[in-house]
Amino acid sequence: MINVTVWNEYRHELKSEEVSSVYPDGIHGQIASFLNADGNFTATTATLDEPEHGLTEEVLEKTDVLMWWGHIAHGEVSDEIVERVYKHVMKGMGLIVLHSGHHSKVFKRLMGTTCNLKWREGDRERLWCINPTHPIAKGLPEYIEIENDEMYGEHFDIPRPDDIVYLGWFKGGEVFRSVCTFSRGYGKVVYIQPGHETNPTYYNEHIQQLIKNAAKWAAPEQKQEPKCPFFPSLEENK
C-alpha cells in the first residue's frame, strides 16, 4: 500500500460556487477519492488552514507521496513547513506538484528557479506522450485530450528535468513541458500541469491514471537521509 497525503490550500472551493460545484468535496477530496478507489493507495488529505497546514512531522514521516495543489495562497504557507517538506523529499518522500502548484514555495525551493510560465484561460489541450516507456505513461494512449484546459506555455522557468513524459500542445499554438520529473536527494518529484480549479480535470480517467502512475513511480523503496561526513544532518547542510 502506498500512503499518499493530498495537500490542497482549499480556498477556491470555499470562495467560489463555480469551483465548489465542480469539486464539492474540494480538489483534495476528489483526488483522495479516486486514489482510495484503487487498491494500491491509502490517501488522506491535509489543508492550509489546519494546524501546521496538516503536515506535522508524524504525517510526513508516514507519507510515501505528497501531492500539492495551491494557487491563491502560496504566500500563506509557512517557511517552517516548506523546510519540513523539503527535508522529507531529501530523505525519499515522493512529491507530485499539480497545476498552479508550480508557484508554490515548496516547488520553488526544490527547483531553485522562478518556475514562471505563460498562461491564459480556456483552450483545448493535447498532452502528447513523448516518453512511452516511462512508468508514468503506462497503460495510457499516445495522447490525452482535454477539451477545456487552462493554457500553460513555455518558457517554463524550471531546471532541465530528468525526464519529460508529456508535452502539452494547445490550440492557440503554445507548447508546454506538462509532465516532467526531477530527483532531489533521495526523493522523486513530478510536475503535472492539468488541473485548473474550474475544470473537471480530476474526473478525467486518463488524468487519474496518470496521477496514480506518478504516485507509484515516486513512492520510495525505502527512505534514507543523504549523508555527508562533514555535514552529518540536513539541518547543518543548508
Q: Which of 109, 101, 66, 83 is nearest to 223 (CA)?
A: 66
* Least distance to Zn ion, CB of residue 132, Å: 27
Nearest to Zn ion of 100, 204 (CB atom): 100
Nearest to Zn ion of 70, 94 (CB atom): 70
Nearest to Zn ion of 3, 198 (CB atom): 198
Cα–Cα distances in Å, from 180 out to 16, 120, 129, 138, 222? 30, 21, 11, 15, 22
* Least distance to Zn ion, CB of residue 152, Å: 8
Per CB under 5 A, does 12 bind Zn ion? no
* Least distance to Zn ion, CB of residue 31, Å: 15
Q: How many residues bind Zn ion (CB under 5 A)?
A: 3
* Least distance to Zn ion, CB of residue 229, Å: 45
Which residue is closest to Zn ion by CB? 196
Per CB under 5 A, does 196 bind Zn ion? yes
Span 86-105, contacts to Zn ion by CB under 5 A: 100
Select the residue interacting with Zn ion from 13, 125, 150, 174 (CB under 5 A): 150
Q: Binding residues for Zn ion, per CB under 5 A?
A: 100, 150, 196
